[in-house]
Structure 1
Amino acid sequence: MDVSPDLRAVVFSPIASVGLTPQAVGRLAEAIRVGLLVEGERLPPEAELSEQFGISPMTLREALAELRAAGYLETRRGRSGGTFVMHPPESTEPGRASLPGAVDAAYFVDLIDYRRAVTSYASGLAARRATPLDLSRIERQVDACHNAANRREYLRRDSLLHIGIAAATGSERILQEQTALEMEANGALASTSALHSRREVKVLLDDHVALLDAIREHDSRRAGKITSTHLNRIRDILCDSDLAANTVTTSDAGEGWAQSWPAEPTRGSGLIGPDDDIADWPAIRQVIFAPIGGEGLAQQTVRRLADGIKIGLLKPGERLPRESELSKMLDISALTLREALATLRQSGLIETRRGRGGGTFVQTTRPWPSVTEARKALKSLTPEFIADFTDLRNAISGEACALAALRATPEELVHIEGLAASMSEKQQLPFYRQLDAAFHVQIAIASRSARIAAAEAKLQIEFGEIVHALSLIFPKDRRPMLSESNNEHKMITDALSRRDAEGARAAAVAHGSHTCDLFTSSFYT
């Protein structure tokens, strides 16, 4: 299989190295700013919170001390004491480590590309799945956006609205992604001069009303389209704004906001009170207090390279770049890289050869997981797990295909079609899976969104593990299954070649949903 340079870049991009303390500070600060943790709320005891986050008590204390110093938290002594949430201060500094150094137009375009993938699909799902209680909660947040007293309140309510829509999908993965996106987007938007005037956001408020109507009417297609248009408007406003501005204006204080858009009748039930309804969403609370990624750089490097080998982005027999070059590419120390390579050698994924033609090579006969390992993985799989995985996969893959139809170069389209053609010649599942993963990741690369490409690669790695586990209960004759998949890939490539964005999205979603149905039926046959 010919692997394009763009696919290799996914493997060899720099490893993130944000420390655990900044991650904990960022998680809690953004949750407070957005309103997922409300003023006066008591956080869990330190012992419980450090266990939930998966960090040491000392690391947690450092994070809490920073948040107390910034005015986000306070500690009260006595029998009813503890750590309590305060009214969020104006500063957006705590948690800024979670944002890139330059919050520029390119950053926002990529953020909104990914946010559109998740948020638009979530709106469509909510239109099909929302309960009357979900609709009531969504309507209250739409009302709150209209009645926002200042810019910061509007941004907070807008985030809560989209989180509430994601909660209405019933998909844990969609909700997790949406919540993380809203916490990041809220902090990033607050650091710019955009959306300081209510005149500027009136069209966005109208989008909210139209979206609520579409969800109420169970119009999935219209809900998704309205959301996509809504996020494109925000992108355009941001790209036309002074993104370097990071100051609080009179608009944030309330007076300027009111002057910029004279009062007019409000919708619905009017301004809602405290965010008590947010505390009723257990799934959202699970997102806030989920474990913080605590892998060291060596572990992250092992996982990155191992994943690249598993889905075929690093080919059997391929020589890795020299250690000095690879450590520079991954932005880690030579010592960290050697530790990671030693672990990969012990796992049988790579080997080191001495002499003039030596170096570090991907093993030509990579050890596949044993039947015992596959059976163990199978025990943790359920139809519900696969359906939840498919919701997020459809969101990411659908948007990737839509964007690739608009942005892919002719050379990329030829490469994608070549991967699809190669799959039709493979009957052995392990080799087919490598081509299948490369096919979907290459489409995501062609979307020109770094976030979508990274998310697709991650999904394909997990998908490979699901396929391997389910292969134990697949029919022995897999040719019909692979033939159907090939036909669906053809529908995707045909839409890409026509530059038909919505056709490509629909083909990708149909492919993901059909695969889900196929896998789910395996449990019952």
Structure 2
Amino acid sequence: MSETRRDDEAPGILSAELLLRPGRSGNAFEETMQRLLQSIRLGLIAPGGRLPAERELASMQGVSRDTVRDAIAALTEAGYLTSRRGRYGGTFVMDELPDDAPPSDAASAPDARRAIPSAEIEDTLILRSILEVGAAREAAQCKLSGSDRERLWQAFEDCRGAAPTDYRRQDSRLHLLIAELVGAPSLLPLVAESRMRVNELLNGIPLLAVNIAHSDEQHERIVKSILRGHPEEAAQAMAEHVAGSEALLRGFLA
């Protein structure tokens, strides 16, 4: 269970820094690419957002500046990043991501995506349930600082108020924040990777208004249970939320 953070140490609602941490593999370039791409595709660095400076990124990930520079160059070539010169220059996420990135438009044709085997779907859903239900339970047991409580509620509000085209990005940020609040450094990358897989499935089904309304109600129960410090209630609310998503995915993709 995590210790209480001081308010002046709390980051924004959810920072890309959470995923841009030193890796464990010996393949620095590929892992740097993976972490940057996860941060972009999960919306931790939004379209048009500026990346930290190369020196800062290198420090975050425990790699050389040359490795960061190579990773940025590769993602620029792939159409994810762009560089700007001048006083307000730097490296920025493209306003429109490449076609191979998960589309935010719910009207995108599902048959334009790769066919996902049933076994892979089941594996993704089971892993998500284990990670996110457990994360909600643990988060409710944490002694959250005042700023952490504000971040959690604001993430919920941002999700509830999101336009349909931005809903899944805000949804991902809320779920990742719940995992971050647990304070276990190894948990967030696992939830992030799981969320990437879940989003690939979600992008293959319509985003319906009635489902958004149900999801908002479930999110509110989850967040309030965590803020009240009721772990089993939080776990149950998350389990019901995950089960609802699973039912939709199985219905559309099975």
Q: Which has the larger radius of gyration?
A: 1
Q: Distance in 1 between matches of 2:76 and 2:171?
A: 26
Change (3 A) 1:359 1:340: same
Q: Does 1:415 align with 2:151?
A: yes
Does the 8 Å CA contact 2:19/2:189 hold for their aligned counterparts? Answer: no
Q: Does 1:14 align with 2:34?
A: no
Matches within 5 A, 1:409-448: 409-429=145-165, 431-448=166-183
Give the AA of the match of 1:421.
E
Q: Distance in 1 between matches of 2:231 and 2:15?
A: 22
Deviation track 1:217-247 (CA, whole Å, cap 9, x = no partner) reads: xxxxxxxxxxxxxxxxxxxxxxxxxxxxxxx
Residue 458 of structure 1: how far off its partner (Å): 1.4
Give the AA of the match of 2:123.
D
- Aligned with 1:490 (options 220, 227, 231): 220
Aligned-pair RMSD on alpha carbons?
2.3
- Aligned with 1:392 (options 123, 127, 133): 127
Deviation track 1:58-102 (CA, whole Å, cap 9, x = no partner) reads: xxxxxxxxxxxxxxxxxxxxxxxxxxxxxxxxxxxxxxxxxxxxx
Deviation track 1:327-386 (CA, whole Å, cap 9, x = no partner) reads: 22211122222211111101211111122222111222323538899636441243x433
Residue 521 of structure 1: how far off its partner (Å): 0.9
Change (3 A) 1:307 1:331: same
Does the 8 Å CA contact 1:413/1:496 hold for their aligned counterparts? Answer: no
- Aligned with 1:318 (options 49, 52, 56): 49
Does the 8 Å CA contact 1:400/1:444 hold for their aligned counterparts? Answer: yes
Give the AA of the match of 2:167.
Y
Does the 8 Å CA contact 1:409/1:446 hold for their aligned counterparts? Answer: no
Deviation track 1:449-494 (CA, whole Å, cap 9, x = no partner) reads: 11222211111122122211x13xx3xx710111111111111012
Does the 8 Å CA contact 1:394/1:509 hold for their aligned counterparts? Answer: yes
Match of residue 115 from structure 2: 379
Match of residue 364 from structure 1: 95
Residue 402 of structure 1: how far off its partner (Å): 1.0
Match of residue 135 from structure 1: none
Higher relative contact order (CA 8 A, sep 6+): 2
Does the 8 Å CA contact 1:8/1:313 hold for their aligned counterparts? Answer: yes
Match of residue 515 from structure 1: 245
Q: Distance in 2 between matches of 1:378 and 1:349?
A: 21
| TM-score (normalised: structure 2) | 0.85
Residue 6 of structure 1: how far off its partner (Å): 5.8
Residue 409 of structure 1: how far off its partner (Å): 2.5
Does the 8 Å CA contact 1:386/1:516 hold for their aligned counterparts? Answer: no
Give the AA of the match of 1:300.
E
SS of the residue corresponding to residue 242 of structure 2 reads helix
- Aligned with 1:462 (options 164, 184, 197): 197
Match of residue 38 from structure 1: none
Q: Does 1:405 align with 2:135?
A: no
SS of the residue corresponding to residue 12 of structure 1 reads coil
SS of the residue corresponding to residue 183 of structure 2 reads coil
Identity %: 24
Deviation track 1:423-456 (CA, whole Å, cap 9, x = no partner) reads: 2222424x11111111011011111111222211
Does the 8 Å CA contact 2:14/2:44 hold for their aligned counterparts? Answer: no
Change (3 A) 1:6 1:418: closer
Matches within 5 A, 1:39-438: 296-369=27-100, 375=111, 377-382=113-118, 384-407=119-142, 408-429=144-165, 431-438=166-173
Give the AA of the match of 2:96.
T
| TM-score (normalised: structure 1) | 0.43
